[in-house]
Structure 1
Amino acid sequence: MTRSVRAMKTGPVTEEFDHAAASYDRLVGANPGYHRHLRVSARRLRLAQGGTGQRILDVGCGTGASTAALARVFPRAEIIGVEVSLGMLSRAREKPWPTRVRFLHARAEELTPEDLDGPVDAILAAYLIRNCPDPDETLATMCGLLPPGGRMALHEYSVADDAMARAVWTAVSWGVIIPLGRAVTGRSDLYRYLWRSVLDFDGAARLRLRMRSVGLENVRTVALGGWQRGIVHTFLGRTPVGRRAS
């Protein structure tokens, strides 16, 4: 029986990611533009000089696809990948990484600057906020990890404001994602959850409001191309320059 979105968020969703970890890279690799879009969102953080002297937090790093995007776009930055699913994190750690990349097992909403050896200059959270039991708590925690002028990019699904995007998402989910996930992993709970969680998640205007409510400024949405236009977006914001660092 398929669990509800709310029920999945309370813990079983992490277990489903643990189960899917072995085949996750293969599945996302079948999604046209998946890795390129992550690099686009990473680039939109607009860190100068390849990230020289910058520390970037990759929250919800999964098996490391978003970490790899950051490492490629910012070849001189220190990157910290954070993931709650031990299965996904194990896959990420198995990959070859430069010494400037490291990983941490933690819940996003429980992170502190001490966990990270101080503030970070920028945060990328790809496909994370929608899966959090309390998106506002998670956003507030992440905001608190940034210094004044720190930058945040959310790479996230949002279709609530667009009927066509909702229709395309449902067609692709039931025509491709759910059958492929079942064929590769032998079960479909995670992929049914993915479909329903995207439909039930915030519209772009609502997510921007959440970002502003935790203190981010210059909040905006930037489109991504390909078949996911109108479905996946980059949400950008900055902490106020005059704010005291945590």
Structure 2
Amino acid sequence: MTLLRGAALSEAFDEGSAAYDRLVAASPGYHAHLRRSARRLGLADGGAGLRVLDLGCGTGASTEALIAAAPLASVTGVDASAGMLERAAAKPGLTHVQFVHASAEALADRLAPGSFDAVFAGYLFRNVQDADAVLGLVRRLLVPSGRLAVHEYTLGGSPVDRAVWNTVCSMIIRPAGRLTGNARLYRHLQESVNTFDTAAEFAGRLRKAGFQGVRVLPLPGWQTGITHTFVGRTAQEA
């Protein structure tokens, strides 16, 4: 299968946006895991005075997790899918969030360097066309000592992790996707994980991009060894 990229992926998410929240809510721990990863940003004092970017915010589940972790932060949500953003903007708890319709790659022309104190990226990097370029952009958008947390499907490297992922996809995720009439999005989901970095490889990618103090943190439940939180920070100002 050819992975979806760029406009084709945005179109698939547009088509799947109406059913997306119902499907992810059926995944045990989905929202709790996002909240845990958001807390791992370590934003003190409720995020008071901090500017936080939710990159690849989708329907706003990650945005809600950020607000739960840092209710006093100023949050900007960015996504390439207009359909997903429409769902996010309609949620009552997100009316104060600024939402921007743009791909991650396009932000270099939209936002100034040092625009954010922290960036959260949930389920984003295996979907972009150039993960290294987007990491470089994220580093540019962060202030010195800015914080990054990435919540992503990244297999742990064990054959068991890959077997569990593909079994869950074959028995649950792809059949559910077919019921929505948007089977291609859920085929993409399975293959994007199979072809993306392992957790160790993505941690190495973060270090190569210049992030310091990189740590890989597990998540509980069936996603142990399948989904991880990655945290890091930009260098201090010289």
TM-score normalised per structure 2: 0.95
Q: Confirm whether residue 130 of structure 1 aligns to residue 126 of structure 2.
A: yes
Q: Which residue identity is paired with 1:158?
A: T
Distance 1:186 1:242 in 2: 50
User: Is this contact kept in 2: 1:80–1:104, CA < 8 A?
Assistant: yes
- 2:149 counterpart residue number: 153
Give the superposition deviation at 1:214: 1.6
Moved over 6 A (4+): none
Q: Confirm whether residue 24 of structure 1 aligns to residue 13 of structure 2.
A: no
Within a 5 Å distance, the mapping from 1:1-246 to structure 2 comes to 3-5=1-3, 8-97=4-93, 100-112=96-108, 115=111, 119-159=115-155, 161-183=157-179, 185-242=180-237
Give the superposition deviation at 1:11: 2.7
Distance 1:129 1:35 in 2: 19
RMSD of the TM alignment (CA)? 1.6
Give the secondary-structure state (helix, strand or coil) at the position aligned to 1:11: helix
Q: Which residue identity is paired with 2:208?
A: S
Q: Cα 1:166–1:157, aligned 2, differ >3 Å: closer, same or farther? A: same
Identity of aligned residues (%): 50
Gapped regions of structure 2 (runs ≥ 5)? none
TM-score normalised per structure 1: 0.92
**Deviations, residues 31-63 of structure 1 (Å, cap 9, x unaligned):** 010000000000000010110111110000000
Give the secondary-structure state (helix, strand or coil) at the position aligned to 1:202: coil
User: Is this contact kept in 1: 2:211–2:235, CA < 8 A?
Assistant: yes
User: Is this contact kept in 1: 2:88–2:94, CA < 8 A?
Assistant: no
**Deviations, residues 40-89 of structure 1 (Å, cap 9, x unaligned):** 00000001011011111000000000000001111111110000101101
Distance 2:128 2:225 in 1: 22
**Deviations, residues 88-116 of structure 1 (Å, cap 9, x unaligned):** 01111111135642211111122148537
Gapped regions of structure 1 (runs ≥ 5)? none
Q: Which residue identity is paired with 1:111?
A: L
Distance 2:141 2:114 in 1: 8
Distance 2:94 2:60 in 1: 13
User: Is this contact kept in 2: 1:60–1:128, CA < 8 A?
Assistant: yes
User: Is this contact kept in 2: 1:110–1:141, CA < 8 A?
Assistant: no
Give the superposition deviation at 1:14: 1.2
The farther-off stretch of 105-114 and 213-222 is: 105-114
Q: Which residue identity is paired with 1:147?
A: V
Give the superposition deviation at 1:118: 5.7
